[in-house]
Amino acid sequence: MKRILSVLCLLTITIGYAQNNLKDISAKQAFERALELRFQNPDSAVALLDYSSNNYLQLNDTVGTTYSLLEKAYVFENTARYANSYDALWTALILNDKRDDDKLKSIIFVRLGRIYSYNKRVEESYKYLKSSLELQKRRVEKLNLKKSVLVPYYYSLAKTSRELQENNVARIYLDSCYLYFSDEVDIQPLAHLEYRGKEYLDFEKAVLLEREDNNQEAIAIMEGVIPYFQKNEPTYLVLIYKYLGDMYLNISNLKKSEELYRKSLDISENYKSHLDFTPLVYENLTELYLRKNEYKNAFKSLKKAKELDAKFFDGRSSINQSLLEIKDNYRIEKDRQEKQIQEQYLKQLEQEEEISKLQLIILIGSIIFLLIIGYGYLNYLRTKHTNEKIFIEKNKELEIKKQQALIDIKNKELASSALQLIEKDEFLKEIKSKVSVGTDKNKIHEINKVLRSISTNNNNNWDEFKHRFISVNKDFYNKIFEKFPSLSQSDQKICALIKLNMSSKDMARLLGISVESVHTSRHRIRKKMELPRNVNLEDYINSI
C-alpha cells in the first residue's frame, strides 16, 4: 500500500505542476497533444499525459485515465526509463483491478510482459503476455468478434520470443498472426499495442529469415516495408535500419551496412526513440570496423556501446538502479490480500463446518426420531390391520357357519316334510286300495274324483317342496345348473334329494318310482358329471 500511495502522490505532484501551465485545455486535448510530442519531446509528452490522467481521474473516467497512463508508460519505455514505465502500468492495473474490462487489462498485461522481457525476466514476461492473449480470446468468444483482433497479442508474443532468441517459438506465434490477419479490422493507433498492420508482421518475418541465413529474402522483405514506416511510423526505422544493416553485414556488404547503422542511430537521436537499442547498433559497428581493419573506429564504437549499455541496463545506472529491484508490487499486494481473504475464508469454512456438523447431528437425530415414530406408527397400523383382518375373517367364518347351520336346519325341515309327504302318499294309497274294492258305480266315480284331486295335490306338494328347496339352496341350484347344464329336471330332483341326505328308498317313495329307477338315475347323473369311480356322489354333491 505504501508503494501505491507513493506512486499516486508522485503522480499528483507532477500533475499539479503541469496544471499551472495547462489550465485551459481538456483532458482529451492534452492526451492528443501528448501523442504528437511523445517522440520529439518525451518530457513534455509525459507532463501532458500526467495532466490528462489526473483530469480523467477527477471525472471518474477510469478508461481515460488508463489510456493516459498506458501512453505515459510507453514514452518512458521508449526512452529506456523502465522503472517509471513499470510504475505507470502498475498504477493502471490497480485502477482496473475490480473492473470487468478484459480489453484494458489485456493491454496492460502486454506492456508488463514486454518490460519484463527487456530484463530477461522470461517467466514473468510470458505469464503476462499469455494472460493478455487469453483475455482477448475470451472477448472474441463472448462478444462474437473476429479472430483478427487477436493478431496484436500474438504479435507481442512473437516479437518477445524473437528478442529472447526463441526463434522456433517466435515462428509459431508469427504463423498465428498471418493466419488471423485481416485488413478489415481497425487497430486503434495507440503505441502500447506496438502493432499497426501487416508490415509489422513482415518485419518480424524478415528478422527470423536473417537468423536462418536467408539474407537475400530477408533484405527484399525489409526494404519492401521501409516506405510504409517512413510514412506512418518513422521511429520504427531505428529497428529496420539496424536489422537491415545486420543482413548486409552478413553478406559482407560493409559499406551498405555502415550506412544503415548510421541511419538507425540518427533516427534514434532525432526522435529520442528506441534509445535502448543503440548499444546493439554500436556493437555491430564494432564488428564492422574490425572487418575493415579500422581499429580506432572499432574501439570508439565498443566504448560507446559499453557506455550506453551501462546507462540503460547496468544496475549501477541511476536510471535503472531501481529496475533490478522491481518487484511485482501488484502481485505481492494481491497475494497478501488473497492470503488474508483465504484466512478469513478458512475461518468462515471452519465455522460453517461446525455449524454443518451441528446441523448434520440435528438432522440425523431428527431422521432417527422420525424413523422410530414412523416404524412405531407403521407397526401399529400393521397390527391394527392384522387384527381387523382376523376379526373380519372370524366374523365371516361365523356368518358362514350360521348360514350353514340355518341351511342344515331348513334342509332337515325339508327332509322331514318330504318324509311326511311320503307317509301321506302311502296312507292315501292304502285308502285308495281299500276303497277301490266297492261295487257301487256312483261311489266309485266320486272316489276316483277324490283320488285325482289327491294326485294333483301331490304334484303341488312337489312344486312347493322344490320352491322351498331352491330358496334355501339357491347357490347350490345355480352352481349345479351352471356346471352341468345337461342335467334333466328328474336329475336335478335326485341331486336335491341327495343334498338332503335321503336314502334311495325314500327317494323312490317320494318320487313314486322304483328303487331301481333311483339307482339308474344316480348312475346317469355320475356319467353326466363325469365322476371317477372312486368319488362318492353324495360327497361330491354336498361339496357344491
Which pLDDT score is estimated for 6? 46
CA pair distance 512, 492, nearest whole angstrom:
16
Contact (CB, 8 A) for 271 and 39: yes
Which pLDDT score is estimated for 406? 63
CA pair distance 209, 218, nearest whole angstrom:
6
Which pLDDT score is estimated for 11? 43
CA pair distance 53, 57, nearest whole angstrom:
6
Domains of the chain with bracketed CATH: 207-327 (1.25.40.10), 473-544 (1.10.10.10)
Which pLDDT score is estimated for 328? 53
Half-sphere exposure of 254 (CA within 13 A, CB side): 10
CA pair distance 156, 204, nearest whole angstrom:
11
Please report, in angstroms and rounded to a whole number, the separation of the first and last CA atoms in the chain.
106
* CA dist 399 → 402, 403, 405, 414 (Å): 5, 6, 10, 22
Mind listing the pLDDT tens digit of every residue in the chain (544 residues)?
A: 444 444 444 444 444 444 445 556 888 888 888 888 877 788 888 899 899 889 988 888 888 888 889 889 888 887 778 788 888 888 888 888 878 888 888 888 988 898 888 878 889 899 999 999 999 999 989 999 888 889 999 999 999 999 999 999 999 999 999 999 887 655 555 556 778 889 999 999 999 999 999 999 999 999 999 999 999 889 889 999 999 999 999 999 999 999 999 999 999 888 888 887 889 999 999 999 999 999 898 889 889 888 887 776 654 344 444 444 444 555 566 666 667 776 777 777 778 888 888 888 998 988 998 899 988 888 888 888 888 888 888 777 777 676 666 666 666 666 656 656 666 666 666 666 666 655 555 556 666 665 555 554 555 556 666 677 777 777 777 888 888 888 888 888 888 888 888 888 888 877 778 889 888 989 898 898 888 888 888 888 888 7
Q: Percent helix, strand, coil in the chain (nearest 5)?
A: 80, 0, 20
Which pLDDT score is estimated for 452? 59
Which pLDDT score is estimated for 324? 41
**Residues constituting the chain:** 544
**Which grid cell is 363?**
438432522
Which pLDDT score is estimated for 153? 92
Which residue in 221, 51, 467 sits closest to 229, CA to CA?
A: 221
CA pair distance 461, 531, nearest whole angstrom:
32
Q: Compute and round to an integer the Cα radius of gyration of the chain.
A: 61
CA pair distance 124, 502, nearest whole angstrom:
118
Contact (CB, 8 A) for 537 and 495: no
CA pair distance 224, 226, nearest whole angstrom:
6
Report DSSP letters for 176-233, one per residue: HHHHH--TTSPPP--GGG---SHHHHHHHHHHHHHHTT-HHHHHHHHHHHHHHHHHH-
CA pair distance 518, 498, nearest whole angstrom:
11
CA pair distance 391, 403, nearest whole angstrom:
18
- Predicted model pTM: 0.55
* CA dist 47 → 162, 189, 350 (Å): 33, 21, 52
The number of angstroms, rounded, from the C-alpha of 118 to the middle of its chain's C-alpha atoms is 43
